[in-house]
Structure 1
């Protein structure tokens, strides 16, 4: 250790001791105050504030801060070291300099945006732009209250160049467990710009595999809650993720950042519950098995129900059907509760079409029927004698009930059935020329599903849209901000629907078109989403730097893209070198030496045996289909009893050793990945096949082995410097 490094280390150790002592003192003082359990509202508020500080101090004690910067504000002196942490720590005296600055504070943005140089820098504060000079930027690693590492990434006037990547590479080289972690200490400048972007815009983030886009979105939620705390609340924010297992994988990030109560759901679960159709949902595995077991990739757009039902053309059909139903809502009938008493149709129509026109169709129906009921009550009051009034009342109740049944059912499911000709009531059926625009296969299969009481995932956006058209949206249903992960798998209609549920187009929409393996339902270009908003309402960001995988793995994956996906956005790797990718052909000798099992199973077993023995925390075996994953799990379980089989119904990711179909691995990352069989029998030459393998390869942080039984797609051939053939020497 050099003299300068040793001096910096000693300085930071002294500072850490001082901060930990202060945290301990503040915690002891708070814990000494008895917890209030009474009913006085003022005391309850005070106790909630004390408990929040207790929790915050306890959470910050193991790692009170991760960075330091010595910033000299223009016109002020002297330069004061600012320590940056996940949560702020105030001094004891009101108005004193914070002991630790919250990473979301305006001045902390300099820690992320400053990358070196002698020129003046500035940041935006509530009182305006503040400029000054950076003298020192230092990364500090504290774990379990112990100082582990001190790295100066910039020293003004120093002879050494900035070394900002050293600390980043150190953190990236660590093995992963079964949870995504926060990146507060290593947020990069381009990520920080997204995190701190204004609230009322639809941010569309194209991020290559490993660019940290999911983590950035989660940090953005924490920032919005800090920056706009008077306007937004955690309970009014929601994250839509692809499946329950992925939600479990990311579940630890927000609590680490001190944020709770944010909803985390799949779109399917949320939409089905709102519509009340959970029991009608078809098993999604049927759809997945169909598409991912299909050779040559997804069908053309007009054969894929998800693409058609998520299209602008279908949205127009839904609007036409809802509008036609709404116009014809009030039945062309007068209402007579008893003989010689009549409410004219013209009066009922006036109520429906004029007096209540600002309500939704369902709301208008409800108010008109309620008004008719009040009219009956008013007309009954002067009727005498009492026996006659009772007779009229009984007759009116029967006729009122019969009349209400003549009104259309404004439920979205009923109208949806009518559109597809799956209901006896034909009021919502589209004109024949409109029906002809629906692909015959889509019309036939959807009509069959609806008649059998079955709804598929691709029907939910349309049903939600009809719900909005017919019922509107309640204030309690609106969100302050929506995050959509893996957004390339969402349809334009889904985004249109969600835009009605969020205030001010406040979205963070993130994904990667190169990972668009659900092309049968998702978008093929981000313009399909950005066109839904005004130019001033959207902001597009591209994250091209990958922090997940080694240089060799990213190079290998990029070669797949360049050879199989036209105009794909390739990842720019952080210079973190590791082992070359292994291209391993099944060894025929293995079959001769082992009487049981085929070459593929034996090769997979050998790969797991070698990789699991290298002290990796997470190793995954990726297959093309769920059926293949189940078969491998059964064949390997006797040797690897800890091997977890993952399917789409799982809501927890346990880490360790796992086997799963490739499409479920999206968003996850593993220390080592084995592609079970990348031969032509599983992956063809299509763009979709290339995207599938790209997804699988980019799950690996440190090691990637690609098994195959012979010929492989051309985009896997000639990988040159990124790979080598055969098993590693043991």
Structure 2
């Protein structure tokens, strides 16, 4: 009898059990292949018109992509043997996606299904109807081992799952993997949070906060498929290299239609250099009032009315009537719709004049009047059409205009910081900075409403300015968000000091903040070493803890010649299994690459992630990335390179999954000494 129909007795021969589970795996893979072939056989020709055919074909293509079987990835990773007494199967295999046979009988249950929750949450104290939990070990896509845990006999939980530990510690190369087989109970609680709830995760290094955010997106798409298919889900990461690193997680879980972008991808890839003090001021929430006043200052007091001529008839709207309309609209609507409403209100008064003369105009006449030259000329004079760039150009070029818009929100010194020393001739020739992108987005929303999404996942949120957070918040103003980050890893001049502050700027003051302090990725010896920096960078945070002792995982070496030491350490790492990240101060990237010229390596750039075993990584790009073996060069230079250099060093020191080697020709920062 096939394994999916009969649960092997737990006292049975281990070889027989393993053979039966392998048989179930083979049956499941065959069934998944049949499901995909069926999806490929479907045709969009049944749809009526060409547009419907294109929409249906896109949906079919997504379905086919979601049913892909990744040969090196386990199709299922766990199994539950359940008590009888409900309508659910007695034996449930938990995997990355649902698989059924030709009779629609479930062979694998999606990890996001309600019944699968017990795989992550059941315990001897609360077995959740589970008698036996089984975990499977794999090499590539081949099932090689299993591990059982009885949950129906009370007593203590399994002290440590060998299979779970091996999966966590498995050497990695290339993009980030999903953690669906290793999700812990506290992580699972976050993943399964309701769609309407905004969740903020303060996660220490190695706690899996990024993976939790991605898995929550996958869970919400599974649970609220129809709703989120309409409104959309977006992942926002710190840079394109990071997005490339996480790009395979959601597709591996069967989710292929999720936008992944950066803040620059949303606000525009503006890269004009700017003094950090100016960028910090532009990122301050006080700028919102300045922008609002600057925009509405362009609406001027009408000095004349409207004269509309139709044939021999003339219809006049007096200037005082125009002023009343403008006064009633100003500040009560967005700028763009206000222009359109002004034209319609003027046209309506013209129609009133027509009716007073016995005419019977209809809506078509009103629309024609609203588009007429006299009305358009008055609207353009009183309520001119504007772009965000025009408003900013005037604001940063005209001291008197800036002073009027700033009022008491900005000091005279702050206003002088914002003014361009040499203003460009027009907004078209202006060079905009990254901070300007957030200001233009704010103005854009004041002019026309930003279309919101259903759910937004924001990673490394502690590094975003108030204005960048506002830009993201309005994109999910009618939805919810998953906010991820670590206050200790804040490296921008405007980094947040509290999650309450971040949630407030996003517009989710009632969001729930939860903290992950138990690490699974970074060895304890490495994490404890990096935590020496915490009192200096985030004194209010609890020190992170690691489940993995990692004895011998840390090596700190003073060296006389950095280049020679780098090459030697890289050769040592290459003799071991796993990926290698050589993280250096940005200014030393070229020198480090030259030192490794005899070794096959690549240099990580801001726009791409190289799927290469040995990488040279600028310190400013290391955030969010992980490598089995990390070599850090010259910590003191990393600290000296920027105002929040200690926080940057904390990030760099916590990228290692197996070993960390620190090389320094200079004295170490005082926090790491001793």
TM-score tier, shorter chain, comes to 0.7 to 0.9
Q: What's the CA shift string for 1:357-402, capped at 9, x where partnerless? A: 864222121343467689999999x9xxxxxxxxxx9xx8499558
Partner of residue 221 from structure 1, selected from 211, 217, 233: 217
- The answer to whether residue 656 in structure 2 is matched with residue 700 in structure 1 is yes
- The answer to whether residue 118 in structure 2 is matched with residue 110 in structure 1 is yes
Deviation at 1:313, TM superposition (A): 2.3
Deviation at 1:78, TM superposition (A): 11
- The answer to whether residue 211 in structure 2 is matched with residue 211 in structure 1 is no
Pair 1:536–1:10, CA change in 2 (3 A): farther
- The answer to whether residue 520 in structure 2 is matched with residue 547 in structure 1 is yes
Segment drifting more, 224-233 vs 404-413: 404-413
Pair 1:530–1:564, CA change in 2 (3 A): closer
Partner of 2:387: 411
Pair 1:378–1:644, CA change in 2 (3 A): farther
- The answer to whether residue 132 in structure 2 is matched with residue 136 in structure 1 is yes
Partner of 1:299: none
- The answer to whether residue 564 in structure 2 is matched with residue 602 in structure 1 is yes
Deviation at 1:156, TM superposition (A): 3.6
| Matched residue SS, 1:541 | strand
Partner of 2:3: none
- The answer to whether residue 588 in structure 2 is matched with residue 611 in structure 1 is no
- The answer to whether residue 453 in structure 2 is matched with residue 493 in structure 1 is no
Deviation at 1:254, TM superposition (A): 0.5
Contact 2:602 2:610 in 1 (8 A): no
Partner of 1:90: 100
Segment drifting more, 185-194 vs 357-366: 357-366
What does 1:448-597 align with in structure 2 at a 5 Å threshold? 453-473=430-450, 477-518=451-492, 520-532=493-505, 537-562=510-535, 565-587=538-560
Partner of 1:331: 302
Deviation at 1:242, TM superposition (A): 0.7
Deviation at 1:526, TM superposition (A): 1.2
| Matched residue SS, 2:213 | helix
Deviation at 1:60, TM superposition (A): 7.0
Contact 1:235 1:261 in 2 (8 A): no
State how far apart, in whole Å, the 2-side matches of 1:309 and 1:242 are.
Answer: 19
Partner of 1:591: none
Deviation at 1:457, TM superposition (A): 1.1
Partner of residue 647 from structure 1, selected from 581, 605, 608: 605
State how far apart, in whole Å, the 2-side matches of 1:78 and 1:414 are.
Answer: 62
State how far apart, in whole Å, the 1-side matches of 2:23 and 2:144 are.
Answer: 13
Contact 1:60 1:87 in 2 (8 A): no
- The answer to whether residue 592 in structure 2 is matched with residue 621 in structure 1 is no
Partner of 1:170: 166
State how far apart, in whole Å, the 2-side matches of 1:638 and 1:355 are.
Answer: 67
Contact 2:315 2:350 in 1 (8 A): no
Partner of 2:365: none
| Matched residue SS, 1:82 | strand
Segment drifting more, 575-584 vs 427-436: 427-436
Contact 1:564 1:685 in 2 (8 A): no
| Matched residue count | 642
Pair 1:430–1:217, CA change in 2 (3 A): same
Deviation at 1:573, TM superposition (A): 0.3
Pair 1:157–1:92, CA change in 2 (3 A): same
Pair 1:438–1:198, CA change in 2 (3 A): farther
Unaligned runs of 5+ residues in structure 2 are: 1-8, 358-368
State how far apart, in whole Å, the 1-side matches of 2:433 and 2:654 are.
Answer: 30
Q: What's the CA shift string for 1:550-595, capped at 9, x where partnerless? A: 22211211223246642333211012424241111113xxxxxxxx
Partner of 1:68: 79
Deviation at 1:466, TM superposition (A): 1.7
Contact 1:90 1:100 in 2 (8 A): yes
| Matched residue SS, 1:69 | strand
Pair 1:9–1:698, CA change in 2 (3 A): farther
Give the TM-score of the pair, scaled to structure 2. Answer: 0.84
Give the TM-score of the pair, scaled to structure 1. Answer: 0.78
RMSD: 3.9
Partner of 1:668: 625
Q: What's the CA shift string for 1:515-569, capped at 9, x where partnerless? A: 1111x12212112123457888311110111121222211211223246642333
Deviation at 1:66, TM superposition (A): 0.5
What does 1:80-479 align with in structure 2 at a 5 Å threshold? 80-93=90-103, 98-114=106-122, 116-117=123-124, 119-122=125-128, 132=129, 134-142=130-138, 146-157=142-153, 162-233=158-229, 236-272=232-268, 281-283=270-272, 286=273, 304-322=277-295, 324-325=296-297, 328-329=299-300, 331-336=302-307, 342-354=316-328, 359-369=333-343, 397=373, 400-401=376-377, 404-405=380-381, 407-422=383-398, 426=401, 429-430=404-405, 433-436=408-411, 439=414, 442-444=417-419, 453-473=430-450, 477-479=451-453
State how far apart, in whole Å, the 2-side matches of 1:608 and 1:166 are.
Answer: 30
State how far apart, in whole Å, the 2-side matches of 1:417 and 1:78 are.
Answer: 64
State how far apart, in whole Å, the 1-side matches of 2:612 and 2:301 are.
Answer: 58
| Matched residue SS, 1:430 | helix
State how far apart, in whole Å, the 1-side matches of 2:638 and 2:67 are.
Answer: 53
Deviation at 1:215, TM superposition (A): 0.8
Q: What's the CA shift string for 1:142-166, capped at 9, x where partnerless? A: 4565211211244543999514432
Pair 1:441–1:8, CA change in 2 (3 A): farther
State how far apart, in whole Å, the 2-side matches of 1:191 and 1:664 are.
Answer: 26
Pair 1:421–1:331, CA change in 2 (3 A): farther
Deviation at 1:81, TM superposition (A): 1.9
Partner of 1:296: none
